[in-house]
Amino acid sequence: MASHDHDHPHDHDHDDHDHHHDPHAPQKDHDSGPADPHEVLEQALRELLIEKGVLTAGEINAQVDFMDTRSPALGANVVARAWTDARFKQRLLADTRVALAEMDIDIGSLADFRTVENTPETHNVVVCTLCSCYPKLLLGIPPAWYKSTAYRGRVVVDPRGVLDEFGVKVPDGVDVRVHDSTADLRYIVLPMRPPGTDGWSEKKLASIVTRDTMIGTAIPKVTEKTAARAARGKSAS
């Protein structure tokens, strides 16, 4: 698609700290006004593909339903597995596609996936500077801020500053690496397992792995609430 906005790649006008409540969320219901040009284009293209017999409406609906099955919960399960199984982690870092297939997660054939591991020396963060490439088949639909020109432009220029706005303070001695996703290659961050999680089950571990921790704009945290929940789950099982 030639719909990328390259006019203002370093747009600095979005310093509103409102990353999690972007009013321009992708889930439009058309109650809020006329369709924008991209929606008109999408509808025209969809109708043309159906008319020309390239795709059926059923196939399109099936793909939409398939995407709806994808959510950050899938990625969280993968991270929890990597935290508890060192061999799986090695396979995940060596060949993400193969490791995901072990967990019956098919990432399709369009793009390759690479897992980048956070360590005490390195913090990784993912962006698509060109448009909005994202590991949808593992994390579901990207958040609106991920697609914003503000994030795309600024995280490359000032990753520490942007991470700080997300509440992630990267210590001075830690190297920050920004990974630019493309149509061919999508990145997932493997965050560090936080202290205070010894003996937790994979399921409990997965519960603290959020979408943003796998983009690199958050760090998994053990709060009193999650710790109490984990303790209850452990005694119950």
Q: Which residues contact Fe ion (rule: CB under 5 A)?
A: 128, 130-133
Pick 83 or 187: Cβ nearer Fe ion: 187
Task: Provide, rounded to whole angstroms, the least separation between the CB of residue 111 and Fe ion.
Answer: 10
Give the amino acid at 184.
D
Pick 131 or 176: Cβ nearer Fe ion: 131
Pick 132 or 210: Cβ nearer Fe ion: 132
Residue 177's Cβ-count burial label (10 Å; 0-12, 13-18, 19+) is middle
Is 128 annotated as catalytic? yes
Choice among 3, 32, 128, 181 that is catalytic: 128
Is 207 annotated as catalytic? no
Task: Provide, rounded to whole angstroms, the least separation between the CB of residue 32 and Fe ion.
Answer: 25
**Other C-beta atoms within 10 Å of 166: how many?**
20
Pick 81 or 152: Cβ nearer Fe ion: 152
Q: Are 69 and 61 in contact (CB under 8 A)?
A: no
Is 235 annotated as catalytic? no
Q: Are 17 and 153 in contact (CB under 8 A)?
A: no
Task: Provide, rounded to whole angstroms, the least separation between the CB of residue 3 and Fe ion.
Answer: 11
CA distance 183 to 109: 11
Task: Provide, rounded to whole angstroms, the least separation between the CB of residue 159 and Fe ion.
Answer: 18
Going by C-alpha positions, the residue among 191, 200, 194 that lies closest to residue 232 is 200
Choice among 133, 201, 235, 237 that is catalytic: 133
Choice among 132, 148, 201, 207 that is catalytic: 132
Choice among 3, 32, 131, 237 that is catalytic: 131
CA distance 232 to 117: 30
Is 109 annotated as catalytic? no
> Which residue's CB atom is positioned nearest to Fe ion?
133
Going by C-alpha positions, the residue among 164, 150, 145 that lies closest to residue 218 is 164
DSSP symbol at 143: P
Catalytic residues: 128, 131-133
